[in-house]
Structure 1
Amino acid sequence: MALAQKSSSPAKATALPLLKFGDPLPANAFVELAKLINPAVVNISTTTMPKQRFRGPQDPFFDMLQQMYGIQMQPQTLRPVQSLGTGFLIRDDGLIVTNNHVIAGADVIQVQLSEKSADLLEAKLIGSDDRTDIALIKIESKEKLPMVQLGSSNDLAVGEWVAAFGNPFGQGHTMTKGIISAKGREIGEINKFPLIQTDAPINPGNSGGPLVNMKGQVIGVNSAIDARAQGIGFAIPIDEVKKIIPELEKDGKIRKGYIGVGLDDLNPQAAMYLGLKEPSGALITSVDPRGPAAKAGIKPYDVIIDFNGRKISSVRDLVDAVSDSKIGGRAKAKFIREGKTKSIELAISDRPEPTRTSSPRAQPRKKYASEQLPYNLGFSITEMSDQVKRDFNLDTRGIGKHPVVLEIQPNSKAEIAGLLPGDILVEVNRKAVGSTKEALRQLKSGTNTFRINRDGAFVIIVISEE
């Protein structure tokens, strides 16, 4: 069986004829595939500049050294962080597809077209989306650049030969081969799209490279590996990628639905406290008073179990269901409140850009007046003050004045439940508390629930008696 030769034009990849079922694999099949695809595969290097490290209150020991001996404590030198990845050209004007995690947070993105080239081209971020792990970047070139042909992932068959291209461990333009091991792998913690599984070796640095069929068409974007085993790699189906490319290029992001709630997954203790048979659903921890959920009557401690006909078992389920909803449309939701199932209809608005950023917390060495909580809970609280806010680096805008968790005893109920120093205690047993005395009044023997604010997000923590 003869394979078509690469087009003489660098602007477009010529597809190879698809092997028929039962045909032997030509000896030069992967040779021709490499010639066809490699010119359109690029190496991506990123640089993230160090952010100024938070400096908490000066240790008295360092103060003593400085005062008595004149020793100046120098801040730790922070260096830029560099990373490597892969991408591939989908247009001859320099538009490149890669993974979002390859370029996320980067201050500088550079592209190398071939290993033989000493030129590193500056790339501009066009658009990115963390939930699909896809990003578009663009380089400028006076000449038309070689590009890949996008195929269809829907036509894939398990057992079909594929090749993965990338930049593993900095070894540019590396090609590996394998088969399609499975289709439609739903791994929500990796990607919202069901993934292609392949045994073609995919290593660090391959991220963002193309997974190609024997016709020379890209059918997936290399994304992840299962570190627990060999020969298990995953790629994002190209048909899903093609759907979002126009929006990423136009808007720089994927517009997502929004209802204005803070969420947390349920644990067995919280489920028991809320009267649920099992820890399934998305727990509402806060409600934006101006958002659609508030207008529809959703409240903290509600547990959403269905959204527009989709069963909700976790926070990720609800986030995906809301994100996929039509902006400007309406949706129906079912939720549990105090053991009863209720239904509502609410509007879907456009998710706003995040405006709040969290900063590293310091562990204050200064001693504060504090209250050790009773019932062997294992933590102490102190009043909110300007000094406490500075020392814990707390942003209390829109939260109000509430007591702050000061210390957590090792191996205590509070530590096991996940409470942290610097958490802002907003409610105790569903009652708002504005001071340590109010918090103490609301505590009881047995199970206590705490609604806290941590780095701008609300969390509900249940501490049960042993």
Structure 2
Amino acid sequence: MFAPFAMRRRISCPFVSSRLLTVLLLLALTPLSAGADEDPVGPWLQARMREHAAWFSYSGTGEGRPGAMDLWRERPAGAPGLPNFTPPTSLAPLIRAVEAGVVNITTVSPRESGLSGMKRSTGSGFVLTPEGLVVTNSHVVSGANKIAVRLSDGREFSAEVVGRDASTDVALLRLSGSDLGNLPALYLGDSDRLEVGDWVVAIGNPFGLDHSVSHGMISAKERVLGVGQFDDFIQTDALINPGNSGGPLFNMKGEVVGVNTAVISQGQGIGFAVPINLVKDLLPNLRENGKLERGWLGVVINDDRDRGERRAPMVKDVFRDSPADAAGIRSGDKLVAVNGRAIGSYLQLLRKVALLAPGTEARLTLLRGGVTQEVSVRLVARPKQEATEGLVRHAPSDEDLGLTLRDLTPEVASPMGQEAWSGALVAAVVPRSPADEAGIRLGDVVMEVNRKRVKDAAGVRAALAKGSSGASLLLRVKRGDSLQYVAISR
């Protein structure tokens, strides 16, 4: 009565000898006596032999082998790991190659709230050109009377602001002094090619500690934080602390793929950076104009941004005598790329066009009737809202009021202390627009339109579409902890 148990213990061992395996196989295949039908050993042996046969067949293919009772898979000893994946061993060579291009920025500015004396602040940046152009955050140099930039080799230069833009938090500086022309400029990468899980390195001067290094990975892309209508942040778990602002975020090729710009103080290991491709589009504008001069295409987009799908934006209407009209763009065209860079949403189109300076000639790729074609468009300065009235008729929208709305998704609501899907977040307000004149502010949450409850941006637009043209709108907004009604004339 103990034989089956002993046999079971020996056969279950994965290291059973080939000779014993042959004997057991013969036993399993040998016809049993008449009384064997009542003996459970025969079926049991056959089941165990099937498991061992499967184990040997898997180990021979290199695709893995099953665990006990086929509940899981295991790779055989010596089998290769994941394809196209090489785990990093040391980041020291990368850091040595790029750290010379990371700079420490010190500013002196008047104290706020009317206090006497001057305030001294520090930040980070990186060398863009050997001749002395430096990129940093706008808030690092905002209001500064004096800016000093120190390189890792100890050289120090005074700097002036060439241009800056608060909506993207990007600033361009120019160094002055001798010994320019051979500065250690860094290479810029392609942030569109980043994937969640890619390794990244942040270098900066947190709390004034020169050239501190942290590493992590890309946690998410295209994060919208409610800062402005150009929100397009890279989220990373590489540590970013005060003083890191303006410093570079590197990929594993030593290329700058982002400008570190924000951190959620309540969280740990959650930092944000402006994608370097957005910075590339903005830099010519800042160098030529000193600020963001927004280009205008002249189209109305059939906005599908609230459906959560990535799709090429479709032209709903074209303004008469606009750059789009001159280029022959029509209603129904799908805009799939700007200057060779693919776009998959209304927001991407808005960013890529608005960041280009007026006078820039842009190359648009569009899809019309299933056929792809390219057109050249010379952008112009965005006209005032009253100048575009009557040029095109379309349903009222949040943009007619001068608003940019965002859904309060859990990712957006949580850092702001708001309840998800409790309304539509005001992400931007156009100056001198009806919303601006009515007192709507950045960060307000629209909860009702004409006393109808709304839970997202699509709900606001649906309520606006039902309203009568020219009639006033009554919005109920949440501002901080208070609720108030705001009337907007249109």
Q: What TM-score comes out, normalization by structure 1 length?
A: 0.49
Structure of higher RCO (CA pairs closer than 8 Å, 6+ residues apart): 1
Q: What TM-score comes out, normalization by structure 2 length?
A: 0.47
Higher Cα Rg, which structure = 2
Q: Which structure: greater helix fraction?
A: 2
